[in-house]
Amino acid sequence: MTAKPASATQNVESARHERKKSARKKATPSGKSAPTDSSVPEHINVVGHLNQERARIFPGLGAVDYHIDQHQITTTPGGQNAAFSQILLRVPGVVLDSYGEVHVRGEHGGLTYRVNGVLLPEGLNGFGQELDTRIIQSVDLLTGTLPAQFGFRTAGVVDVTTKTGDSLKHNQVSLYGGSYNTFVPSVQLGGQHGKLDYFTTLSFTRNNIGIENPSDTFRAVHDVTEQEKAFSYLSYHIDDVSRVTLLTSASYADFEIPNSFKTFDVNSPDYTTIYDVAGVNPHDPSMNWAKMNDSQTEQNYYAVLSYQRTTDKLNFQASPYFRYGRIDYTPDRDRDLIYQGVSEHEVNDFTTGGMQFDLSYEVAHHHTLRAGLLGQYTSERLDTNTLAFPVDAQGNQSSNVPVRLIDNTGNWSVEAGAYIQDEYKITHNLTFNYGIRYDRFASSFGNEGQLSPRANMVWKPTRTTTLHIGYSRYFAPPSPQYVYPSTLAKLVGTTNAAANLINDATKVEKSNYVDGGILQRITPEFQITLDAYAKWAHDLTDLGQFGRAVILAPFSYKRGRVYGAEFGSSWRHGPWSLFGNFSYVKTSARDINSAQYQFDTAELAYIKSHAIQLDHQGEFTATAGASWTTKHDMAYVDFVYGYGLRSGFANLEKEPEYDVFNIGYQHTFTKVPFGHDIKVRADVVNLFDKRYQLRNGSGVGIYQAQYGQRRGTFFSVVSEF
């Protein structure tokens, strides 16, 4: 991981016209055989030229930009088979949570995902990974005071540049497997035919650790997952200055919900109160807790069509997009009723369609104007079919015959934003980027808007030092997952009744954010970064799991504050590469002012009069790694430290701290009887088999206990053809 200078375009202007001229020169890129068609090298340079110009439309001016390249991905445990969250975890300020979540700078969620400069609509908050690491050529995490072109989800921007037919040296087939019955075959195909550039990847995953183990055992009970993923990139170059690109992605995943240990022994800390179910004997061996068979299916599909055109001064990109997501939770009727008193089949659908337009225009030698529009419509539907028992006034079960409660509700939202900003190069080494953005959020449960100024100053007093400071006003709408009072009313008098009937709608989070920092290159191989930030928010948005179905829903606090600092360092020399990161974050919030029905009244009363720390706060985090890479060999060791997330009543307690070490080795065979290179790799995750708990099932918005993955050994073979 390396940090870019805060202004990605600080030294771009002087080289811009040279790039435009050289973009049309004929040259064969390194690592590829020279083609016979003399038009192909020119076409490849046109690709590079268009990619550079697209980057000019979306620079991270003044934001903190952490860059992750193929080398960093390769030296992460699992490499291209690693979960995308594990790639991000090696960046300063990123904290690991359960369900594969990561939190950036004390925020719960709030990440914007962009692929090749185009926004991905927000999906459902389940536990499937948003992106597949195999598609990534490089990724940048932008945080801090984002410029005006970034809106809505502003905790950070995960900016992915995908592989293309041009960047893929050869087609690849891979087999990855090992501990926990892991089996992952995959294939990557890419190339160029005339003006068409294409890349596609297909993968299948099966293992016995789909979700974190809720018990302190080496293997979870009932935790198999099967996942299929597909991604394709098609780009057609109309001429030297324009192209059309189509991105499509599909994923389908089945998860078994792991079972927690339960016993009927009243003297055991795991003693379980059971419910009386008509016609079912809870002590029958077939009703044992280990045989609970709850499951969840997640589907996600998206398509993005982009048209890009570039001229000497004007660059623009227009992109319509569409996304559909679905989570289907299927219960185990009898066992759920015995152990929970509730059995609920839940289906949650999201459909989003929208349009994004962005442009940059060099109005004068020292001024580059950027402007854009974005609008999208989202439809959400929640269908539940619930079995629950009637209860008396004291909340005790009054009948052993469950009642069926069917509820079908939906929400909609419209998000629209427009911005304009100016990149003003005051001097050769001083840049001021300022702009303004207007956002509007209308939904079935609220309507708000805000005008948001943004400003960043970037100063390079020397060739090796970059300083930045900035301010941003943010407007972050919640996902449209409002539960209506009529739904809560249906559940009154049952074992599935809400804690109370207070149900204010979640509002848009509005915040002020300041950030400042320095990037210092000590030597050409060694650099360090130091950054500090603070945020003050009204209607601070958080997410919680409320029920056994793994769907995270929003709620908010009336006031909130987040502040912290980050340190990052990287060194590369010859075959050696080192990195080390450390971060500190502190959060506080007061008065839950939406979706209050999900919380106990005593907890609500305490939080109303006391500032508490947020459940996802990992106060201190650290990551470090070392790798050695040659033409044929790669070896690495890396380390992750977590201070522990918050837990207990009103988040007054904390989970234990932990540290995890990983090692790996890869060898490349270049002299093979068929095809091209063959890479053989081994990884040991959690080398010392550290037992650590991410969650104990307590805390504001926390439902399930979860432990980190125990030691695992994994192997992979990649053949290029």
* Residue 275: per-residue pLDDT: 93
* Residue 40: per-residue pLDDT: 44
Amino acid type, 615: D
Which helix (H) or strand (E) segment is 220 a member of? none
Residue ranges of the alpha helices (H) in 423-560?
485-491
Q: What is the pLDDT of residues 278-336, one digit of tens each?
A: 999 988 888 888 899 999 999 999 999 999 999 889 999 999 999 999 999 999 999 99
Q: What is the 3-state secondary structure (H, E, C) of 366-385?
A: CEEEEEEEEEEEEEEEEEEE
Q: Could you give the domains of the chain?
A: 46-720 (2.40.170.20)
* Residue 35: per-residue pLDDT: 41
CA distance 508 to 39: 52
CA distance 37 to 409: 59
CA distance 261 to 272: 9
CA distance 236 to 243: 6
56-70, 260-274, 442-456: which has the minimum mean pLDDT? 260-274
Q: What is the pLDDT of residues 612-654, one digit of tens each?
A: 999 999 999 999 999 999 999 999 999 999 999 999 999 999 9
Residue 679 and residue 633 in contact, taking contact as beta carbons nearer than 8 Å = no
> Percent of the chain having pLDDT more than 70?
89
pLDDT at 102 over 60: yes
pLDDT at 564 over 50: yes
Over residues 88-115, mean pLDDT: 91
| Token pair belonging to 165 | 């037919």
User: What b-and-e string marks burial along 329-338, b requiring 16 or more CB atoms within 10 Å of the CB?
Assistant: bbbbebbbbb
Over residues 220-233, mean pLDDT: 95
pLDDT at 21 over 90: no
Q: What is the pLDDT of residues 315-330, one digit of tens each?
A: 999 999 999 999 999 9
* Residue 118: per-residue pLDDT: 80
* Residue 56: per-residue pLDDT: 64
pLDDT at 52 over 80: no
Amino acid type, 237: H
* Residue 22: per-residue pLDDT: 41
Amino acid type, 662: N
pLDDT at 9 over 80: no
pTM: 0.90
Q: What is the pLDDT of residues 339-397, one digit of tens each?
A: 999 999 999 999 999 999 999 999 999 999 999 999 999 999 999 999 999 999 999 99
Amino acid type, 253: A
DSSP secondary structure code for residue 135 in this structure:
G
Over residues 3-32, mean pLDDT: 41
CA distance 625 to 568: 12
Cα–Cα separations (whole angstroms), residue 92 to 105, 521, 535: 9, 17, 17
pLDDT at 51 over 70: no
Residue 226 and residue 254 in contact, taking contact as beta carbons nearer than 8 Å = yes
* Residue 423: per-residue pLDDT: 95
Task: Write down the mean pLDDT value for the chain.
Answer: 89
Residue that wins the pLDDT comparison between 50 and 121: 121
* Residue 270: per-residue pLDDT: 65
pLDDT at 421 over 90: yes
CA distance 541 to 664: 39
